[in-house]
Amino acid sequence: MQPPQRRDTADMNMYAVPSPGIPGCPPGLEYLTTVRLMLYASIHTALVGFESNNKYEVRNAMGQNVFYAVEENDCLSRQCCGPLRPFNIHVLDNFGQEIISVTRPLKCMSCFFPCCLQELEVQAPPGNTVGYVIQQWHPLSPKFIVANEHNEPVLKIHGPFCGWSCLPDVDFEILTMDEVSKIGKISKQWTGLLREAFTDADNFGIQFPMDLDVRMKAVMIGACFLIDFMFFETTN
């Protein structure tokens, strides 16, 4: 009888991959069908005066790494455009396979220019569009439409006054289109004074119904990236 094999500690932080082939589920998103809470953390540290490409970990409620994400960008865009910069974010599973691609074009971010608002496209897998996040003009509060692959509105996201809150956590509510029911939220969570002051590192939580279309769950991950860039990434 062979002795039991010793599991690497890192393996304990990885989730077990569900069986592939769930009907209607894009390849690689099977795990999202089983969760209602995702934790998102930026893991990059920017040197003073220099903006670096963002990197992220996406975890489940038990703290296990579910996905990794990395921003693809060039030095000129990072330094000249700062948080306004266009980007491509590649979301990878624990085996290094790209399962989600998030693209943000260069747009204005001023309430005085309602004709050129923020938006991004989410593909899962890359090349297969599953939805969009589109900013809606409002003079005081951030508002977004979450649309499907046909650009048909599905959900709304409403944030606090000017995207800020006096509370340690900042909530962006996920609402039905009639704004009657709140079905989830994207929360920016306090990470401590020193970390907030000297790095761009942020923690977010995404809550959504278990039975939400898995493609919309992927779009919510994209919405979290956009909210981070728009309201919580400072210009160094």
Of 50-59, 61-70, 142-151, give the range with the top mean pLDDT.
142-151
Q: Which residues contact 219 (CB under 8 A, 6 or more apart)?
A: 122, 130, 131, 132, 133, 146
Torsions phi, psi for 91 (to 5 deg): -105, 125
Contact 47, 36 (CB under 8 A): no
In a domain, 141, yes or no: no
Give the whole-number percent of the chain exceeding pLDDT 90: 36
Cβ distance 226 to 104 under 8 Å? Answer: yes
Mean pLDDT of 93-105: 92
Q: Is residue 4 a part of any domain in this protein?
A: no
* CA 119 from centre of chain: 13
Structural domain includes residue 182: no
pLDDT, residue 108, reads 65
Give me 84's structure tokens: 């306004």
Q: Looking at residue 121, what is its pLDDT?
A: 96
Report the alpha-carbon distance of residue 185 to residue 33 in Å, rounded: 17
| pLDDT tens profile 123-182 | 999 999 999 999 998 877 889 999 999 999 999 999 987 655 555 678 999 999 999 999
Coil, helix or strand at residue 107: coil
Question: What is the structure's pLDDT at 145?
Answer: 96
Confidence (pLDDT) at 156: 97
Domain span at 199? 30-132+187-232
Tokens 């039991």 -> residue: 4
4: confidence class by pLDDT, cuts 50, 70, 90: very low
So what's the pLDDT on residue 138? 80
Residue at 74 is within a domain: yes
Kind of pairing between the strands at 153-158 and 143-148? antiparallel
Kindly state whether residue 197 falls inside one of the protein's structural domains: yes
| Cβ(215)–Cβ(124) below 8 Å | yes
Task: Look at residue 128 and tell me if it is in a domain.
Answer: yes
CA dihedral 29, 102, 212, 13 (to 10 degrees): 50
Q: How many domains does one find in the chain?
A: 1
Residue 56 has pLDDT above 70, yes or no: yes
Angle value at C-alpha 222, between 218 and 224, nearest 5 degrees: 115
Amino acid (one-letter) located at 76: L
Pairing relationship of beta strands 37-42 and 203-207 according to DSSP bridges: antiparallel
Whether 76 maps to a domain, the answer reads yes
- pLDDT mean over 55-71: 87
For the chain, what is the mean pLDDT?
A: 78
